[in-house]
Amino acid sequence: MGIQSFDKQELQAMGRFYDASLGEEIARTGVASEISNINLDLIYGIPGQNFERWKKNLLTAIEIGPATITTYPLVIRNRTVYGKQMTKGIRNDFI
C-alpha cells in the first residue's frame, strides 16, 4: 500500500490532499483482513520533514503490523508539485 506518510502536512506538501487518517484506516483494515502479505510504503526526504515526523511515521507503520514496510527516498518527477516548482526555480520547504 502506497501510504507515503501518515502526516497531514507531509501529504499536503506532496500534493496529496486527502485526510491523513485515511491511509492509517486502510492499512489497519488490510492487516485485519484475510490478506496475508500487506506491505506499507513510506517516503522519506520530504522537504521540511524532520526526524520526529519520520520516526512517528515509522512507529505508526510498525504498530499497524504489516508483513513488511518499505521505505523510499522522495524522487522529484517533472509532473509533481515539487517538479513543477523546480522547473520554475522555486525552492519551497513547505513545512
What are the extents of the domains in the chain?
2-87
Q: How do residues 4-37 score in pLDDT, each as one tens digit?
A: 999 999 998 887 888 999 999 999 999 999 888 9
| pLDDT over 50 at 95, yes or no | no
| Cell representation of residue 7 | 502526516
Domain 2-87 indexed as CATH 3.30.750.24: no
Q: Give percent of the chain with pLDDT exceeding 70.
A: 89
DSSP 34: S
Cβ proximity of 43 and 74 under 8 Å: yes
CB count, 10 Å around CB of 26? 13
Q: Give percent of the chain with pLDDT exceeding 90.
A: 56
Which phi and psi angles does 26 have, rounded to 5°? Answer: -65, -40
Provide the greatest CA pair distance for the chain: 48
This prediction's pTM: 0.81
Length of the chain: 95
Nearest-angstrom CA–CA distance, 39 and 79: 26
